[in-house]
A and B are shown apart, each in its own frame.
Chain A
Amino acid sequence: MGIVEAILLSVITAATPLVLAAAGELVAERSGVLNLGVEGMMIMGAVCAFAATQLSGSPYIGVLAGIAAGALFSLLFGFLTLTLVANQVATGLALTLLGLGVSGMLGESFLGMQGIKLQPIAVPLLSQVPFIGPLLFRQDAIFYLSIAIVAGIHWFLFRTRSGLKLRAVGDSHGSAHALGVDVIRTRYLAVLFGGACAGLAGAQLSLVYTPQWVENMSAGRGWIALALVVFASWRPWRVVAGGYLFGAVSISQLHAQAFGIGIPSQFLSSLPYMATIVVLILISHNRRMTLINTPASLGKPFVPDR
């Protein structure tokens, strides 16, 4: 295995949870809901995936548990912000703090246990292709799912009637409501989907990336996912590009250090974040393009008939 291949393999593992969580959040934000609780939903997914895997012995049960945990947890957010019309920013932050705490409590009895890794599945024939095969077609199920989910989101948002309705809700919930779209229901579904994706991202952390459970193991990846959505200007495929760019910069800085390149490590560690800032500046430079893609009702509460 060459060094390039090795680096790319690490990049894929590092980028997958970011892409998944960001893709889910993108759908929620497209419907006009800003859920800052990604980190909390992710960590809940991680702990439940790990616990279910330990109890059942099957990492696939774990994956399902992770998805379910993220979705259920997001339902709490949905209830507070959509039904009770609480402030989305405050509720999202609370969700993150709650998730970090509750996951620590749930996971206490699973600390130090040996994880069961979700094994890669080789795609017949394609996995034999040199270079690309081992990279893209000898991966775990969550990686395949992440690509399928992004493709699915793109198709749904821009090629289906329901997707159009969802975007309408996000752009102008008043108009969508007047046209007979059930704004609250749409947003609930979008939030649920976002939670499920974040939960799946969490499952990737505790079953693939580092098959173990430790408190706070998401270590801020939920926040990076949130930044990625803006970075991608709410376009699904750009989430993939952004996630992989971020992963690539963070992995190559580690390689640069191991290689002994005399650049301060603090500078190298900050590179991925600087790259994000640079791209954000470049994107916001074109104000019209930004406005076209930003959901106009993002973060605004909707109260029907009032």
Chain B
Amino acid sequence: MKKLLLALATTTAVLGFASAASAQEKAKICFVYVGSKTDGGWTQAHDIGRQQVEKELGDKVETQFLENVPEGPDAERAIERLARSGCGLVFTTSFGFMDATIKIAQKFPDVKFEHATGYKTAPNVATYNSRFYEGRYIQGQIAAKMSQKGVAGYIASFPIPEVVMGINSFVIGARSVNPDFKIKVVWANTWFDPGKEADAAKALIDQGVDVLTQHTDTTAPMQVAAERGIKAFGQASDMIAAGPQTQLTAIVDTWGAYYVKRTQAFIDGKWETTSSWDGLKDGILTMAPYTNMPDDVKAMAEATEAKIKSGELKPFTGPLNKQDGTAWLKEGEASDDATLLGMNFYVEGVDDKLPQ
């Protein structure tokens, strides 16, 4: 018995030593995904970022990921498992992982965590997000130029600030071109249900919209738009394959550069808690090629994109009113980030009642 115990102790020590040694050689970077890494949208974009880390940092890193992790208690277990298995830096890539990330981070003060799209930080938890709304502003402008009827359809997922912000930005962009522009909003109450998204697209088109945009994850709305011969915008990934004659542009999530930057900082021992909210200029989101539109519209879109990148144009700049007509931002006043991140109201011009 004593012998056995001794053997066990030796093995543990050796194993412990081995893992410590390899940890010194290679940084272990881990990812927690809410969906499947081949979902064609949100999670796939994160996984492409992970692959970029492997490609660019090569031998210095080793990556690991857990996919299809449900938000809730399971997320805690998944994150804890990664933290225990020797991950040095863990990216949790869904809003719903916020509290789980904070909780596990307290248990593992030596492990660094990065949570996407959240707002809670800790000494070892950073947050990162992308200014998707900058792309939506450009889409709004394009929609206003392309629509003959002056009405766009918007398929929304859940009434969280991120989505409300996108709707507002789209409307502000559209009304900067056509002050009478209107949008119809349908809440699908899902991120991912091709059938329901297609039904929502059909309903909007049947009610007379002639440009379609979506904040849900599948290409089903794009397909319906293509079938009905109207134009549409892609979401999260370039969806041109689903509508070669249909897609005007798409907001493409490109997390890779950020992941490489942060991993490098981690390897160099320079990692710090940050709350980063990058935009078009940082390359964390890019616009898919402007297609299926006349040259003047394309030129306008490119000019707007350049202005946003240079910082000359901020989509949420006054004069802007809230939906009920009360003043929100004065002439020339730009909204602060905190208001945007907690956005729970519509701006003037949205033809929908915000679900509360």
The finding on whether chains A and B are genuine partners in a shared complex, rather than unrelated, reads yes
Q: Which residues of A contact B (CB under 8 A)?
A: 3, 6-7, 10, 14, 104, 108, 111-115, 205, 209-212, 214-217, 219-221, 250-251, 254-255, 257-260, 262, 264-266, 269
Does B196 lie within 8 Å of A258, measured CB to CB? no
Query: Which of chain A's residues have a CB closer than 8 A to the CB of B219?
Result: 112, 212, 214
Q: Which residues of B contact A (CB under 8 A)?
A: 36, 38-40, 153, 159, 184-190, 192-200, 202-204, 206-207, 209, 218-220, 223, 241-242, 351-353, 355-356
Interface of chain A: mostly helix, strand, loop or mixed:
helix
**A249–B323 Cα gap in the complex (Å)?**
29
Does B36 lie within 8 Å of A257, measured CB to CB? no
**A265–B194 Cα gap in the complex (Å)?**
18
Query: Which of chain B's residues have a CB closer than 8 A to the CB of A262?
Result: 353
Query: Which of chain B's residues have a CB closer than 8 A to the CB of A10?
Result: 199, 202-203, 206
Query: Which of chain A's residues have a CB closer than 8 A to the CB of B195?
Result: 14, 205, 209-210, 217, 219, 221
Q: List 6 A-B contacts (CB under 8 A).
A: A212-B218, A214-B194, A254-B188, A258-B186, A269-B187, A269-B188
**A250–B190 Cα gap in the complex (Å)?**
13
Query: Which of chain A's residues have a CB closer than 8 A to the CB of B351?
Result: 260
B189: nearest residue on chain A (CB-CB)?
A269
**A269–B187 Cα gap in the complex (Å)?**
9
Query: Which of chain A's residues have a CB closer than 8 A to the CB of B193?
Result: 219-220
Does B218 lie within 8 Å of A214, measured CB to CB? yes
CB distance from B354 to the nearest CB of A (A): 10
Query: Which of chain B's residues have a CB closer than 8 A to the CB of A212?
Result: 194, 218-220, 223, 242
Does B40 lie within 8 Å of A111, measured CB to CB? yes
A247: nearest residue on chain B (CB-CB)?
B199
Query: Which of chain B's residues have a CB closer than 8 A to the CB of A111?
Result: 38, 40
Does B203 lie within 8 Å of A258, measured CB to CB? yes
Given A10-B206, A205-B195, A212-B223, 4 more pairs with CB closer than 8 A: A7-B203, A214-B194, A255-B206, A257-B186
**A114–B226 Cα gap in the complex (Å)?**
12
Does A216 lie within 8 Å of B199, measured CB to CB? no
Query: Which of chain A's residues have a CB closer than 8 A to the CB of B209?
Result: 258
Which of B36, B159, B203 meets A254, CB within 8 Å?
B203
